């Protein structure tokens, strides 16, 4: 949020925070307030900030309800400011004092996780956690960069013996001893032959480990997110995201398959790992890896092929959608037998605000943990005027950077690397400004220099200030960790790859979204949190972002469902996650896309944001098996020879005898409708299975039709009994028939309900000659 003056933000905060609090209390009883202060505003007559804070407090009018006004703590690293016991009336007066940024009432909180379990509604005393025994004995195969087994997230304390049916092993060696495996990490292997074939030589073992040990960090992070044990009193650098870390499925077992190396993850290694994971006996495969660019055809996509084989063996494959957003058609891992996951925000921020010389303040985010900037504003320059707008290493002119804060544009190179370029050129700080591609998406990074990221709007304002001001100056204030409903969450990350599905438009992708922005989880001991050679720091937990982080959240939740319903197919688990997903943020409004600030659509978020507790009791599921996927492949034009790649055996000439009338007739839990210029009506068929507690259930449909589209469902009532637990319905879509068609896009949904369950499927409508839309 950009604010035109310091005084206006004071007034806003007083009105938004303090006044409602005063109105809601029956008396002016004292309580503790946290006061955030602009460090550069300290008057020179005070020897220290603490003396200034004491002066501010003593200047407040007395109250008969409080005998003494005493500062409890002064903050000068994570945040700048103090905490003090005051009456609400006194606290409201603080908003009129120059330098006061915000005044917030202190609140009693329980120890939190890395925050996502609480944000997802997970709790120990109700819902999916206790009802699935935390996925005890379910094995999650994590195909990634390996694992750092010494991290506390992989403790096996309190776990039962290794499941009797487990066939996997730990590949041991000098860098991965037998003690690295336990009852939590029950399998660990490395797959590198494809990589070394690409290198045409053995890998350099002085820079990467030819073992399951993770020297990159990504695999440790994803594994601990999916199935990490409970760890108390964790944080990043002792400052940010303090609380209790735990994976989604704390009793699930982890099998780590190292498939990724310095130059990438090779299909040959990926397929070998998937094959081995199935043989070892994993139940869930979590794969935060995908193709670059557009998704390849299913028959040329090794992950799609391997996932098909996994489905044949009852193993669910959960994959990241990719980080190529916000452009359309960028989602990868989009085969209908894969659970495709996009990324969203949670209700936790790491604010680091920019203070300009003209008194304007712009919000940003950062995980910088070093020494703060000096107590006064520094000269401010734009990198585009002094070498390179993207702040490439060696591109900035030291004579024009030394002693200044530099504004760098996002894009072109790694975000943290930009700050390193500024530092090497003599700069003291950096403001990383989003461009149109990233909009208002803010990702916190553990910078090596005092730095913050701001959105496009703020970035443009700051660059314009530099252009128009004779002596532009700025500073950055780091405010630690803030949890709350402002800004609302979730929002869809701008980087999250999105649809429409460029291979099969009738299949809506991604399937769901889950937390993937600024996620705290375990980290390697081999490199620093920035993954840069010049970063000497080592941390047990790191905060990073990507659909790589959202995927293991859903993998862990799928493990919980697998434990609760061991007979469910992978398709049934996916259906439960999709039809119970929600589409509203914590302010009650439809959640938004961070790129544009507009409401998100299913081509961006799929069915919606996962809701683990609701997924435990979905009511109905849309089930599928391998024969359904074969019929789908036939419908998109695959012949027996192409299908044989998936079936792993020659397919007979009659393989397509059950060919679907249309790809959209696959029993998918969502609808993507394509109207061609010569086709104004589409009809699909679906089959639902009653998995609710009542066998004699009656469901009625509620239709939310897009503008200029008529939806009819037949029958509109589904009656289940002990002898009839599956029912079929047809759904018809008519384009503009007698409806005064004037639009080129449509949004909608259908929802089946028996009074206690709501089984929702999004509807996305595309006019091929016009614009695409969804809701």
C-alpha–C-alpha distance, residues 572 and 579, integer Å: 11
Question: Mapped to the 3 state alphabet, what secondary structure does 228-282 carry?
Answer: CCCEEEEEECCCEEEEEECCCCCCCEEEEEECEECCEECHHHHHHHHHHHHHHCC
C-alpha–C-alpha distance, residues 142 and 190, integer Å: 12
Q: Are 670 and 578 in contact (CB under 8 A)?
A: yes
Which candidate, 321, 317, 322, places its Cα nearest to that of 555?
A: 317
User: If you write DSSP's letter for every residue of 8-45 in order, what string do you get?
Assistant: HHHHHHIIIIIHHHHHH-SS---EEEEEEE-GGG--TT
C-alpha–C-alpha distance, residues 8 and 296, integer Å: 52
Which candidate, 550, 517, 548, places its Cα nearest to that of 440?
A: 517
Which candidate, 692, 510, 518, 705, places its Cα nearest to that of 609?
A: 510
Vertex 256: Cα angle to 314 and 509 (nearest 5): 50
Which tokens is 111 given?
């120890």
C-alpha–C-alpha distance, residues 483 and 350, integer Å: 9
Q: At 774, give phi and psi (nearest 5°).
A: -160, 165
Question: Mapped to the 3 state alphabet, what secondary structure does 187-240 carry?
Answer: EEEECCHHHHHHHCCCCCCCCCCCCCECCCCHHHHHHHHHHCCCEEEEEECCCE
Secondary structure (3-state) at 549: helix
Q: At 409, give phi and psi (nearest 5°).
A: -85, 145
Which tokens is 242 given?
């303090």
Q: List residues with catalytic annotation.
A: 144, 218, 548
Q: Are 360 and 437 in contact (CB under 8 A)?
A: no
Contacts of 150 (CB under 8 A, 6+ apart): 180, 525
Vertex 178: Cα angle to 174 and 184 (nearest 5): 130
Q: Are 666 and 336 in contact (CB under 8 A)?
A: yes
Which candidate, 127, 135, 123, places its Cα nearest to that of 561?
A: 135
**Dihedral angle of Cα 244, 249, 253, 256, to the nearest 10 degrees:** -80
Report H helices in 524-675: 547-564, 570-579, 602-605, 612-615, 626-635, 640-647
Which tokens is 402 given?
């030394």
């Amino acid at each position: 949020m950009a604010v035109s003056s310091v005084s206006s933000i004071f007034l806003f905060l007083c009105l938004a925070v303090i006044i409602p609090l005063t109105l809601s209390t029956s008396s002016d009883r004292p309580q503790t307030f946290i006061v955030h202060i602009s460090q550069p505003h300290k008057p020179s007559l005070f020897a220290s900030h603490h003396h200034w804070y004491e002066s501010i407090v003593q200047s407040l009018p007395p109250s008969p309800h409080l005998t003494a006004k005493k500062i409890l703590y002064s903050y000068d690293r994570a945040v700048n400011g103090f905490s003090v016991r005051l009456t609400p009336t006194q606290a409201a007066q603080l908003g009129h004092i120059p330098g006061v940024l915000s005044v917030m009432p202190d609140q009693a909180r329980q120890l939190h996780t890395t925050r996502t379990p609480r944000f997802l509604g997970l709790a120990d005393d109700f819902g999916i956690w206790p009802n699935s025994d935390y996925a005890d004995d379910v094995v999650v195969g994590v195909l990634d960069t390996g694992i750092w087994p010494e991290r506390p997230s992989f403790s096996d304390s309190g776990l039962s013996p290794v499941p009797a049916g487990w066939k996997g092993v730990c590949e041991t060696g000098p860098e991965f001893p037998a003690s690295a495996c336990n009852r939590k990490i029950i399998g660990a292997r490395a797959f590198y032959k494809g990589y070394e074939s690409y290198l045409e030589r053995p890998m350099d073992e002085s820079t990467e480990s030819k073992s399951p040990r993770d020297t990159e960090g990504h695999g440790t992070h994803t594994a601990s997110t999916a199935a990490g044990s409970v760890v108390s009193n964790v944080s990043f650098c002792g400052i940010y995201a303090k609380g209790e870390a735990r994976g989604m499925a704390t009793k699930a077992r982890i099998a780590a398959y190292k498939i990724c190396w310095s130059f990438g993850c090779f299909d040959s290694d990926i397929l070998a790992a998937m094959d081995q994971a199935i043989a070892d006996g994993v139940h869930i495969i979590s794969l935060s890896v995908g193709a670059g660019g557009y998704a390849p055809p299913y028959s040329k996509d090794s992950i799609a092929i391997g996932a098909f084989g996994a489905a044949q063996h009852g193993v669910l494959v959960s994959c990241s959608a990719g980080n190529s957003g916000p452009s359309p058609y960028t989602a990868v891992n989009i085969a209908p037998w894969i659970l495709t996951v996009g990324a969203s925000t949670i209700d936790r921020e790491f604010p680091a605000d920019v203070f300009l010389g003209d008194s304007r303040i712009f919000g940003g985010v950062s995980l910088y943990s070093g020494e703060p900037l000096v107590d006064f504003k520094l000269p401010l320059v734009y990198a585009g005027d002094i070498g390179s707008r993207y702040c490439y290493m060696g591109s900035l002119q030291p004579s024009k950077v030394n002693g200044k804060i530099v504004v760098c544009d996002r894009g072109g190179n790694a975000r943290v690397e930009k700050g390193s370029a500024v530092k090497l050129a003599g700069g003291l700080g950096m403001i990383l400004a989003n461009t149109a591609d990233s909009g208002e998406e803010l990702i916190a990074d553990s910078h090596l220099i005092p730095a913050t990221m701001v959105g496009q709007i703020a970035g443009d304002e700051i660059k314009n200030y530099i252009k128009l001001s004779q002596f532009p100056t700025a500073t950055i204030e780091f405010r630690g960790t803030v949890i709350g409903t402002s800004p609302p969450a979730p929002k869809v990350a701008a980087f999250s790859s999105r649809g429409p599905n460029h291979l099969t438009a009738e299949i809506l992708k991604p399937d769901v979204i889950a937390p993937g922005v600024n996620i705290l989880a375990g980290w390697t001991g081999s490199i620093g949190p920035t993954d840069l050679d010049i970063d000497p720091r080592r941390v047990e937990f790191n905060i990073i972002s990507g659909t790589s982080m959202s995927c293991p959240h859903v993998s862990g939740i799928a493990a919980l469902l697998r434990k609760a319903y061991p007979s469910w197919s992978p398709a049934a688990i996916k259906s439960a996650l999709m039809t119970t997903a929600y589409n509203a943020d914590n302010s009650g409004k439809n959640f938004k896309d961070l790129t544009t600030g507009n409401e998100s659509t299913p081509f961006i978020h799929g069915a919606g944001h996962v809701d683990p507790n609701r997924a435990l009791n979905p009511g109905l599921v849309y089930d599928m098996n391998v024969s359904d996927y074969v019929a789908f492949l036939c419908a998109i034009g695959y012949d027996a020879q192409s299908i044989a790649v998936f079936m792993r055996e020659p397919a007979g000439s009659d393989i397509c005898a059950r060919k679907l009338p249309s790809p959209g007739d696959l029993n998918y839990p969502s609808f993507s409708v394509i109207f061609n210029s010569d086709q104004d009506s589409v009809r699909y068929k679906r089959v639902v299975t009653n998995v609710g507690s009542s066998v004699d259930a009656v469901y009625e449909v509620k239709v939310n039709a897009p503008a200029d589209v008529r939806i009819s469902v037949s029958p509109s009532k589904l009656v289940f009994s002990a002898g009839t637990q599956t029912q079929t319905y047809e759904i018809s879509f008519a384009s503009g028939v007698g409806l005064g068609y004037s639009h080129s896009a449509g949004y909608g949904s259908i929802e089946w309900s028996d009074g206690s369950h709501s089984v929702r499927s999004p509807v996305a409508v595309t006019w091929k000659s016009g614009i695409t839309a969804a809701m």
